[in-house]
Protein backbone atom coordinates (compact mmCIF):
# COMPACT_ATOMS: atom_id res chain seq x y z
CA UNK A 1 0.00 0.00 0.00
CA UNK A 2 1.19 3.47 -0.82
CA UNK A 3 1.79 5.52 2.28
CA UNK A 4 -0.58 8.43 2.34
CA UNK A 5 -0.37 11.81 3.92
CA UNK A 6 -3.30 13.34 5.64
CA UNK A 7 -3.54 16.77 6.99
CA UNK A 8 -6.37 16.83 9.46
CA UNK A 9 -8.92 19.61 9.60
CA UNK A 10 -6.93 21.27 12.37
CA UNK A 11 -8.33 22.33 15.67
CA UNK A 12 -9.99 25.41 16.98
CA UNK A 13 -8.60 24.65 20.41
CA UNK A 14 -4.98 25.66 21.00
CA UNK A 15 -4.86 23.65 24.24
CA UNK A 16 -5.21 20.31 22.44
CA UNK A 17 -2.11 18.34 23.40
CA UNK A 18 -1.27 16.84 20.00
CA UNK A 19 -1.78 19.97 17.94
CA UNK A 20 1.80 20.65 16.92
CA UNK A 21 3.07 17.08 16.77
CA UNK A 22 3.87 15.10 13.62
CA UNK A 23 2.58 11.52 13.73
CA UNK A 24 3.25 8.38 11.73
CA UNK A 25 0.66 5.60 12.14
CA UNK A 26 1.77 2.12 11.06
CA UNK A 27 -1.05 -0.48 10.95
CA UNK A 28 -1.98 -3.10 8.37
CA UNK A 29 -5.74 -3.11 8.97
CA UNK A 30 -7.25 -0.28 6.94
CA UNK A 31 -10.23 0.11 9.25
CA UNK A 32 -8.17 0.19 12.44
CA UNK A 33 -5.68 2.62 10.93
CA UNK A 34 -8.53 4.91 9.83
CA UNK A 35 -10.00 4.76 13.32
CA UNK A 36 -6.70 5.74 14.97
CA UNK A 37 -6.17 8.59 12.52
CA UNK A 38 -9.62 9.94 13.37
CA UNK A 39 -8.92 9.66 17.08
CA UNK A 40 -5.69 11.59 16.70
CA UNK A 41 -7.51 14.21 14.63
CA UNK A 42 -10.08 14.53 17.40
CA UNK A 43 -7.15 15.32 19.72
CA UNK A 44 -6.15 18.16 17.42
CA UNK A 45 -3.28 16.43 15.59
CA UNK A 46 -2.92 18.07 12.19
CA UNK A 47 0.00 16.21 10.68
CA UNK A 48 -0.56 12.46 10.33
CA UNK A 49 1.18 10.13 7.89
CA UNK A 50 0.16 6.51 7.42
CA UNK A 51 1.80 3.24 6.44
CA UNK A 52 0.61 -0.36 6.32
CA UNK A 53 3.78 -2.13 7.46
CA UNK A 54 7.41 -1.60 8.46
CA UNK A 55 8.75 -1.38 4.91
CA UNK A 56 6.38 1.34 3.77
CA UNK A 57 6.88 3.16 7.10
CA UNK A 58 10.66 3.25 6.54
CA UNK A 59 9.95 4.58 3.04
CA UNK A 60 7.82 7.37 4.49
CA UNK A 61 10.61 8.20 6.93
CA UNK A 62 13.09 8.43 4.05
CA UNK A 63 10.80 10.60 1.90
CA UNK A 64 9.69 13.09 4.52
CA UNK A 65 12.27 15.75 5.33
CA UNK A 66 10.96 16.79 8.71
CA UNK A 67 11.34 14.45 11.67
CA UNK A 68 8.30 12.77 13.20
CA UNK A 69 7.53 13.40 16.85
CA UNK A 70 5.54 10.24 17.55
CA UNK A 71 5.37 6.90 15.72
CA UNK A 72 2.38 4.68 16.49
CA UNK A 73 2.99 1.10 15.42
CA UNK A 74 1.22 -2.23 15.42
CA UNK A 75 3.34 -5.34 16.14
CA UNK A 76 1.66 -8.08 14.15
CA UNK A 77 1.84 -7.00 10.49
CA UNK A 78 2.62 -8.83 7.23
CA UNK A 79 5.81 -7.77 5.46
CA UNK A 80 8.08 -6.15 8.04
CA UNK A 81 6.47 -6.63 11.45
CA UNK A 82 6.56 -4.14 14.31
CA UNK A 83 9.53 -5.72 16.07
CA UNK A 84 11.79 -5.54 13.02
CA UNK A 85 10.51 -2.01 12.37
CA UNK A 86 11.43 -0.87 15.91
CA UNK A 87 14.87 -2.44 15.54
CA UNK A 88 15.39 -0.53 12.27
CA UNK A 89 14.26 2.71 13.93
CA UNK A 90 16.78 2.14 16.69
CA UNK A 91 19.57 1.42 14.21
CA UNK A 92 18.73 4.55 12.24
CA UNK A 93 18.78 6.54 15.53
CA UNK A 94 15.29 7.93 14.85
CA UNK A 95 14.48 10.36 17.66
CA UNK A 96 10.68 9.99 17.64
CA UNK A 97 8.71 8.76 20.64
CA UNK A 98 7.05 5.39 20.17
CA UNK A 99 3.55 4.10 20.93
CA UNK A 100 2.89 0.39 20.44
CA UNK A 101 -0.66 -0.76 19.67
CA UNK A 102 -1.34 -4.42 19.76
CA UNK A 103 -3.78 -7.21 20.30
CA UNK A 104 -1.03 -9.19 22.00
CA UNK A 105 -1.48 -10.24 25.58
CA UNK A 106 -0.09 -8.18 28.43
CA UNK A 107 2.99 -10.25 29.15
CA UNK A 108 4.15 -9.92 25.54
CA UNK A 109 3.52 -6.19 25.61
CA UNK A 110 5.86 -6.03 28.63
CA UNK A 111 8.57 -7.75 26.58
CA UNK A 112 7.99 -5.23 23.77
CA UNK A 113 8.70 -2.44 26.24
CA UNK A 114 12.00 -3.98 27.29
CA UNK A 115 12.92 -4.67 23.67
CA UNK A 116 12.22 -1.08 22.55
CA UNK A 117 14.43 0.26 25.31
CA UNK A 118 17.18 -2.18 24.31
CA UNK A 119 17.03 -0.76 20.77
CA UNK A 120 17.37 2.74 22.22
CA UNK A 121 13.80 3.83 21.42
CA UNK A 122 11.84 6.06 23.77
CA UNK A 123 8.59 4.19 24.34
CA UNK A 124 5.71 6.26 25.69
CA UNK A 125 3.62 3.18 26.35
CA UNK A 126 1.46 0.52 24.82
CA UNK A 127 -2.19 0.59 23.82
CA UNK A 128 -4.25 -2.55 23.91
CA UNK A 129 -6.69 -2.77 21.02
CA UNK A 130 -9.18 -1.27 20.62
CA UNK A 131 -7.48 2.05 21.37
CA UNK A 132 -9.32 4.95 23.00
CA UNK A 133 -8.81 8.71 22.59
CA UNK A 134 -8.20 8.96 26.36
CA UNK A 135 -5.26 6.56 26.19
CA UNK A 136 -3.82 8.44 23.20
CA UNK A 137 -4.15 11.72 25.12
CA UNK A 138 -2.35 10.21 28.14
CA UNK A 139 0.53 9.01 26.02
CA UNK A 140 0.78 12.32 24.14
CA UNK A 141 1.12 14.11 27.45
CA UNK A 142 3.91 11.66 28.32
CA UNK A 143 5.68 12.77 25.14
CA UNK A 144 5.67 16.36 26.39
CA UNK A 145 6.92 15.29 29.81
CA UNK A 146 9.80 13.35 28.34
CA UNK A 147 10.60 16.20 25.96
CA UNK A 148 10.63 18.81 28.72
CA UNK A 149 12.88 16.81 31.08
CA UNK A 150 15.22 19.30 32.64
CA UNK A 151 18.96 19.22 32.07
CA UNK A 152 19.37 17.88 35.57
CA UNK A 153 18.26 14.40 34.58
CA UNK A 154 20.84 14.07 31.81
CA UNK A 155 23.33 11.33 32.37
CA UNK A 156 26.39 10.56 30.36
CA UNK A 157 29.99 9.64 30.58
CA UNK A 158 32.28 11.51 32.96
CA UNK A 159 33.48 14.79 31.56
CA UNK A 160 36.28 15.55 34.01
CA UNK A 161 39.70 14.07 34.61
CA UNK A 162 40.78 12.76 38.00
CA UNK A 163 43.17 15.71 38.39
CA UNK A 164 40.37 18.21 37.80
CA UNK A 165 38.06 16.52 40.31
CA UNK A 166 40.78 16.29 42.97
CA UNK A 167 41.61 19.97 42.43
CA UNK A 168 37.93 20.81 42.96
CA UNK A 169 37.89 18.77 46.17
CA UNK A 170 40.99 20.54 47.40
CA UNK A 171 39.40 23.91 46.65
CA UNK A 172 36.31 22.84 48.68
CA UNK A 173 33.98 23.22 45.73
CA UNK A 174 31.87 20.16 46.66
CA UNK A 175 28.79 20.24 48.88
CA UNK A 176 25.62 18.25 49.59
CA UNK A 177 22.29 19.27 48.09
CA UNK A 178 19.25 17.91 49.90
CA UNK A 179 16.17 16.23 48.52
CA UNK A 180 13.31 15.76 51.02
CA UNK A 181 11.86 12.36 51.83
CA UNK A 182 8.14 12.45 52.54
CA UNK A 183 5.90 10.00 54.36
CA UNK A 184 3.09 9.30 51.91
CA UNK A 185 0.36 8.72 54.50
CA UNK A 186 0.93 11.89 56.52
CA UNK A 187 2.84 14.13 54.04
CA UNK A 188 5.37 14.68 56.84
CA UNK A 189 9.02 15.31 55.91
CA UNK A 190 11.07 12.57 57.57
CA UNK A 191 14.49 13.61 56.34
CA UNK A 192 16.56 14.27 53.26
CA UNK A 193 18.99 12.51 50.98
CA UNK A 194 22.34 14.26 50.62
CA UNK A 195 23.42 14.34 46.96
CA UNK A 196 26.89 15.51 46.00
CA UNK A 197 27.16 18.65 43.87
CA UNK A 198 30.25 20.35 42.51
CA UNK A 199 30.02 24.12 42.30
CA UNK A 200 32.41 24.41 39.40
CA UNK A 201 33.89 27.88 38.97
CA UNK A 202 33.18 27.77 35.21
CA UNK A 203 30.76 24.89 34.71
CA UNK A 204 27.84 25.77 37.02
CA UNK A 205 26.53 23.00 39.30
CA UNK A 206 27.96 19.66 38.19
CA UNK A 207 26.00 16.42 38.84
CA UNK A 208 27.47 13.20 40.31
CA UNK A 209 27.64 11.20 37.06
CA UNK A 210 30.47 13.50 35.99
CA UNK A 211 32.73 12.77 38.97
CA UNK A 212 31.66 9.80 41.16
CA UNK A 213 32.87 7.08 38.79
CA UNK A 214 36.12 9.02 38.14
CA UNK A 215 36.82 8.96 41.88
CA UNK A 216 35.64 5.38 42.40
CA UNK A 217 37.72 3.98 39.56
CA UNK A 218 40.83 5.70 40.89
CA UNK A 219 40.15 4.38 44.40
CA UNK A 220 39.75 7.99 45.62
CA UNK A 221 36.09 8.15 46.68
CA UNK A 222 36.93 8.35 50.41
CA UNK A 223 37.68 12.06 50.52
CA UNK A 224 34.35 13.02 48.94
CA UNK A 225 32.54 10.63 51.29
CA UNK A 226 34.16 12.18 54.40
CA UNK A 227 33.17 15.61 53.18
CA UNK A 228 29.58 14.52 52.47
CA UNK A 229 29.26 12.71 55.80
CA UNK A 230 30.71 15.59 57.82
CA UNK A 231 28.69 18.32 56.11
CA UNK A 232 25.42 16.44 56.15
CA UNK A 233 25.88 15.33 59.77
CA UNK A 234 26.51 18.97 60.72
CA UNK A 235 23.48 20.17 58.73
CA UNK A 236 21.28 17.47 60.24
CA UNK A 237 22.40 18.35 63.73
CA UNK A 238 21.52 22.01 63.02
CA UNK A 239 18.05 21.02 61.77
CA UNK A 240 17.50 18.96 64.89
CA UNK A 241 18.79 21.75 67.15
CA UNK A 242 16.23 24.01 65.48
CA UNK A 243 13.47 21.59 66.49
CA UNK A 244 13.08 19.77 63.16
CA UNK A 245 12.82 16.01 63.68
CA UNK A 246 14.73 14.96 60.57
CA UNK A 247 17.31 12.37 59.57
CA UNK A 248 19.80 12.43 56.73
CA UNK A 249 20.71 9.81 54.13
CA UNK A 250 24.20 9.58 52.65
CA UNK A 251 25.34 7.44 49.71
CA UNK A 252 28.27 5.14 50.45
CA UNK A 253 30.28 3.55 47.69
CA UNK A 254 30.91 -0.20 48.05
CA UNK A 255 34.61 0.35 47.37
CA UNK A 256 34.86 1.97 50.80
CA UNK A 257 33.13 -0.90 52.56
CA UNK A 258 35.92 -3.24 51.56
CA UNK A 259 38.20 -1.43 54.03
CA UNK A 260 38.01 -3.28 57.38
CA UNK A 261 38.47 -0.05 59.38
CA UNK A 262 35.71 1.90 57.66
CA UNK A 263 32.89 1.45 60.19
CA UNK A 264 34.83 3.27 62.90
CA UNK A 265 35.86 6.03 60.50
CA UNK A 266 32.25 6.61 59.37
CA UNK A 267 31.07 6.67 62.99
CA UNK A 268 33.74 9.19 63.92
CA UNK A 269 32.80 11.54 61.05
CA UNK A 270 29.18 11.61 62.26
CA UNK A 271 29.60 11.74 66.03
CA UNK A 272 32.35 14.35 65.67
CA UNK A 273 29.63 16.70 64.34
CA UNK A 274 27.49 16.03 67.39
CA UNK A 275 25.00 13.79 65.62
CA UNK A 276 23.94 10.32 66.77
CA UNK A 277 24.31 7.53 64.18
CA UNK A 278 20.60 6.67 64.54
CA UNK A 279 19.79 9.87 62.63
CA UNK A 280 21.90 8.83 59.65
CA UNK A 281 20.89 6.35 56.94
CA UNK A 282 23.69 4.93 54.82
CA UNK A 283 22.57 4.09 51.27
CA UNK A 284 24.31 1.23 49.50
CA UNK A 285 23.31 0.22 45.98
CA UNK A 286 21.64 -3.16 45.64
CA UNK A 287 24.43 -4.64 43.51
CA UNK A 288 27.03 -3.48 46.06
CA UNK A 289 25.02 -4.73 49.02
CA UNK A 290 24.94 -8.22 47.51
CA UNK A 291 28.71 -8.38 47.49
CA UNK A 292 29.98 -11.57 49.03
CA UNK A 293 33.20 -9.89 50.18
CA UNK A 294 33.55 -10.70 53.87
CA UNK A 295 34.69 -7.21 54.84
CA UNK A 296 31.62 -5.62 53.24
CA UNK A 297 29.25 -7.81 55.24
CA UNK A 298 31.24 -7.32 58.43
CA UNK A 299 31.19 -3.54 57.99
CA UNK A 300 27.45 -3.45 57.30
CA UNK A 301 26.69 -5.44 60.43
CA UNK A 302 29.03 -3.28 62.50
CA UNK A 303 27.47 -0.05 61.20
CA UNK A 304 24.00 -1.36 61.97
CA UNK A 305 25.15 -2.27 65.50
CA UNK A 306 26.38 1.28 65.98
CA UNK A 307 22.86 2.48 65.20
CA UNK A 308 23.08 3.65 61.56
CA UNK A 309 20.12 2.96 59.29
CA UNK A 310 21.03 0.90 56.23
CA UNK A 311 19.24 1.37 52.93
CA UNK A 312 19.37 -0.77 49.77
CA UNK A 313 19.52 1.85 47.03
CA UNK A 314 18.39 1.41 43.41
CA UNK A 315 16.48 -1.72 44.37
CA UNK A 316 15.26 -3.70 41.37
CA UNK A 317 18.38 -3.11 39.28
CA UNK A 318 20.36 -5.91 40.96
CA UNK A 319 19.46 -9.52 41.37
CA UNK A 320 19.14 -10.11 45.08
CA UNK A 321 17.14 -12.99 46.43
CA UNK A 322 15.05 -12.87 49.58
CA UNK A 323 17.68 -15.07 51.22
CA UNK A 324 20.46 -12.59 50.42
CA UNK A 325 18.37 -9.69 51.66
CA UNK A 326 17.75 -11.32 55.02
CA UNK A 327 21.51 -11.80 55.52
CA UNK A 328 22.07 -8.09 56.03
CA UNK A 329 20.22 -6.03 58.66
CA UNK A 330 18.76 -3.45 56.25
CA UNK A 331 16.27 -0.94 57.61
CA UNK A 332 15.09 0.52 54.30
CA UNK A 333 14.48 -0.56 50.71
CA UNK A 334 14.64 2.12 48.05
CA UNK A 335 12.96 1.26 44.76
CA UNK A 336 14.93 2.49 41.75
CA UNK A 337 13.45 5.52 40.02
CA UNK A 338 13.28 3.75 36.65
CA UNK A 339 10.41 1.57 37.94
CA UNK A 340 8.69 4.35 39.87
CA UNK A 341 8.67 6.73 36.91
CA UNK A 342 7.10 4.21 34.54
CA UNK A 343 4.82 2.32 36.91
CA UNK A 344 1.72 4.34 36.08
CA UNK A 345 1.92 3.43 32.39
CA UNK A 346 4.03 0.33 32.12
CA UNK A 347 2.76 -3.00 33.33
CA UNK A 348 6.25 -4.48 33.80
CA UNK A 349 7.50 -1.54 35.90
CA UNK A 350 4.38 -1.62 38.02
CA UNK A 351 4.89 -5.30 38.72
CA UNK A 352 8.46 -4.70 39.86
CA UNK A 353 7.34 -1.76 42.01
CA UNK A 354 4.59 -3.78 43.66
CA UNK A 355 6.76 -6.80 44.32
CA UNK A 356 9.53 -4.58 45.74
CA UNK A 357 7.06 -3.01 48.16
CA UNK A 358 5.82 -6.47 49.08
CA UNK A 359 9.43 -7.54 49.70
CA UNK A 360 9.95 -4.56 52.05
CA UNK A 361 6.77 -5.45 53.93
CA UNK A 362 7.89 -9.07 54.30
CA UNK A 363 11.28 -7.94 55.61
CA UNK A 364 9.56 -5.51 57.97
CA UNK A 365 11.55 -2.52 56.69
CA UNK A 366 10.66 0.93 55.38
CA UNK A 367 9.94 1.25 51.67
CA UNK A 368 11.03 4.35 49.78
CA UNK A 369 10.27 5.25 46.18
CA UNK A 370 12.68 7.54 44.38
CA UNK A 371 11.90 9.49 41.20
CA UNK A 372 8.22 10.29 41.84
CA UNK A 373 7.80 12.97 39.20
CA UNK A 374 4.05 13.50 38.85
CA UNK A 375 0.86 13.56 40.91
CA UNK A 376 -0.04 10.32 39.17
CA UNK A 377 3.18 8.62 40.41
CA UNK A 378 2.47 9.97 43.88
CA UNK A 379 -1.11 8.66 44.02
CA UNK A 380 -0.09 5.27 42.69
CA UNK A 381 2.59 4.96 45.39
CA UNK A 382 0.03 5.78 48.06
CA UNK A 383 -2.37 3.20 46.67
CA UNK A 384 0.37 0.56 46.63
CA UNK A 385 1.14 1.22 50.30
CA UNK A 386 4.65 2.64 49.85
CA UNK A 387 5.93 4.32 53.05
CA UNK A 388 8.10 7.20 51.82
CA UNK A 389 8.78 8.93 48.53
CA UNK A 390 11.16 11.46 47.10
CA UNK A 391 11.09 13.01 43.67
CA UNK A 392 10.78 16.11 41.55
CA UNK A 393 7.01 16.15 42.20
CA UNK A 394 7.69 17.39 45.71
CA UNK A 395 11.11 18.99 45.35
CA UNK A 396 14.37 18.87 43.47
CA UNK A 397 17.59 18.57 45.44
CA UNK A 398 18.28 22.01 46.94
CA UNK A 399 21.07 23.95 48.59
CA UNK A 400 21.67 23.35 52.28
CA UNK A 401 20.73 26.93 53.14
CA UNK A 402 17.31 26.57 51.46
CA UNK A 403 16.31 23.29 53.06
CA UNK A 404 15.05 24.35 56.55
CA UNK A 405 12.86 27.08 55.02
CA UNK A 406 11.50 24.60 52.53
CA UNK A 407 10.57 22.23 55.39
CA UNK A 408 8.76 25.02 57.28
CA UNK A 409 6.84 26.09 54.18
CA UNK A 410 5.87 22.50 53.38
CA UNK A 411 4.59 21.97 56.91
P1 LIG B 1 20.73 7.92 43.98
O2 LIG B 1 21.36 7.73 45.31
O3 LIG B 1 19.81 6.87 43.51
O4 LIG B 1 20.01 9.33 44.05
C5 LIG B 1 18.81 9.64 43.44
C6 LIG B 1 19.02 10.39 42.15
O7 LIG B 1 17.76 10.59 41.52
C8 LIG B 1 19.61 11.77 42.32
O9 LIG B 1 20.44 12.02 41.20
C10 LIG B 1 18.39 12.67 42.28
O11 LIG B 1 18.66 14.00 41.90
C12 LIG B 1 17.59 11.96 41.23
N13 LIG B 1 16.17 12.26 41.33
C14 LIG B 1 15.47 12.61 42.43
N15 LIG B 1 14.17 12.77 42.15
C16 LIG B 1 14.04 12.51 40.83
C17 LIG B 1 12.90 12.54 39.94
O18 LIG B 1 11.76 12.80 40.31
N19 LIG B 1 13.17 12.21 38.65
C20 LIG B 1 14.41 11.89 38.19
N21 LIG B 1 14.57 11.62 36.91
N22 LIG B 1 15.49 11.87 39.01
C23 LIG B 1 15.29 12.18 40.31
P24 LIG B 1 21.87 12.65 41.33
O25 LIG B 1 21.91 13.70 42.38
O26 LIG B 1 22.30 13.01 39.94
O27 LIG B 1 22.74 11.45 41.84
C28 LIG B 1 22.99 10.34 41.05
C29 LIG B 1 23.66 9.25 41.81
O30 LIG B 1 24.98 9.62 42.18
C31 LIG B 1 22.96 8.91 43.13
O32 LIG B 1 21.87 8.09 42.86
C33 LIG B 1 24.08 8.22 43.88
O34 LIG B 1 24.18 6.87 43.50
C35 LIG B 1 25.31 8.94 43.37
N36 LIG B 1 25.75 9.90 44.41
C37 LIG B 1 25.30 11.13 44.69
N38 LIG B 1 25.99 11.68 45.72
C39 LIG B 1 26.89 10.75 46.11
C40 LIG B 1 27.90 10.69 47.13
O41 LIG B 1 28.09 11.61 47.93
N42 LIG B 1 28.65 9.54 47.20
C43 LIG B 1 28.46 8.49 46.36
N44 LIG B 1 29.24 7.40 46.50
N45 LIG B 1 27.53 8.50 45.39
C46 LIG B 1 26.75 9.61 45.28
MG1 LIG C 1 20.79 7.23 47.04
MG1 LIG D 1 18.73 5.42 43.93
| Dihedral angle of Cα 230, 284, 410, 231, to the nearest 10 degrees | 10
Question: How far is the C-alpha of 131 from the C-alpha of 10, rounded, in Å?
Answer: 21
Determine the pLDDT at residue 18. Answer: 76
Q: Is the CB of 249 under 6 A from ligand 1?
A: no
Nearest ligand 1 atom to the CA of 372 is 18
Question: How far is the C-alpha of 211 from the C-alpha of 295, rounded, in Å?
Answer: 26
Give me ligand 2 centre to Cα 313, in Å. 6
| DSSP codes of every residue in 259-324 | STTHHHHHHHHHHTTT--GGGEEEEEEHHHHT---HHHHHHHHHHHHTT-EEEEEEETSS---HHH
Smallest-distance ligand from the CA of 179: 1
**For ligand 1, atom 30, which residue shows the shortest CA distance?**
208
Q: Is the CB of 196 under 6 A from ligand 1?
A: yes
The residue ranges of every structural domain in the chain are 4-147, 158-410
Tens of pLDDT, residue by residue, the chain (411 residues): 444 444 433 333 445 667 789 999 999 999 999 999 999 999 999 999 999 999 999 999 998 877 899 999 998 899 898 989 999 998 888 889 999 998 777 767 777 777 888 888 888 888 888 899 999 998 888 787 665 444 333 455 567 899 999 999 999 999 999 999 999 999 999 999 999 999 988 768 899 998 999 999 999 999 999 999 999 999 999 999 999 999 999 999 988 998 889 999 999 999 999 999 999 999 998 877 777 667 888 899 999 999 999 999 988 887 777 777 888 889 999 999 988 988 888 888 898 899 999 999 999 999 999 999 999 999 999 999 999 999 999 999 999 999 999 999 998
**For ligand 1, atom 19, which residue shows the shortest CA distance?**
371
Pocket probe for ligand 1: among 225, 251, 368, 397, the residue whose CB has the most ligand atoms within 8 Å is 251
Q: Is the CB of 212 under 6 A from ligand 1?
A: yes
Measure the CA angle with vertex 16, ends 15 and 17; round to 5°. 105
Phi-psi region of 258 (alpha: psi -120 to 50; beta: other; left: phi over 0): alpha
Question: How far is the C-alpha of 174 from the C-alpha of 310, rounded, in Å?
Answer: 24
Q: Is the CB of 180 under 6 A from ligand 1?
A: no
**Residue 216 gets which letter from DSSP?**
H
Q: Is the CB of 214 under 6 A from ligand 1?
A: no
Q: Is the CB of 195 under 6 A from ligand 1?
A: yes
Give me ligand 1 centre to Cα 7, in Å. 44
Determine the pLDDT at residue 328. Answer: 82
Question: How far is the C-alpha of 177 from the C-alpha of 119, rounded, in Å?
Answer: 34
Nearest ligand 1 atom to the CA of 397 is 11
Q: Is the CB of 373 under 6 A from ligand 1?
A: yes
pTM over 0.85: no
**For ligand 1, atom 4, which residue shows the shortest CA distance?**
195
**Residue 115 gets which letter from DSSP?**
H
Q: Which fold has domain 158-410?
A: TIM Barrel (3.20.20)
The yes-or-no answer on residue 370 being catalytic is yes
Neighbours of ion ligand 2 (CB under 5 A): 251, 283, 313
Neighbours of ion ligand 3 (CB under 5 A): 313-314, 370
Q: Is the CB of 314 under 6 A from ligand 1?
A: yes
- Give me the catalytic one of 41, 370, 376, 383: 370
Give me ligand 2 centre to Cα 76, in Å. 41
The three-class DSSP label of residue 334 is strand
The three-class DSSP label of residue 204 is strand
CATH 3.40.50.2300 fits 4-147, yes or no: yes
CA atoms within 13 A on the CB side of 24: 28
**Residue 93: which residues within 8 A CB-CB, separation 6 or more?**
120
Nearest ligand 1 atom to the CA of 256 is 44
Amino acid sequence: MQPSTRNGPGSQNAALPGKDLRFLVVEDHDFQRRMMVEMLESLGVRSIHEASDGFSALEVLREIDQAFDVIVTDIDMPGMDGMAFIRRLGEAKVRASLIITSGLDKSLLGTMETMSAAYGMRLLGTIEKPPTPQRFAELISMHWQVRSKPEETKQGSPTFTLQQVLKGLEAEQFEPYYQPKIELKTRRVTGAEALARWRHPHGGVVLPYAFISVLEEAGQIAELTWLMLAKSARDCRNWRDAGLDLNVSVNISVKLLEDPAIADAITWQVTHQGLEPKHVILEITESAAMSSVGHVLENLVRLRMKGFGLSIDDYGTGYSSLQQLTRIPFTELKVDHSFVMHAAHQESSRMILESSLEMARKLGITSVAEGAETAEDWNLLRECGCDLAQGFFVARPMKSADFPDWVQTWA
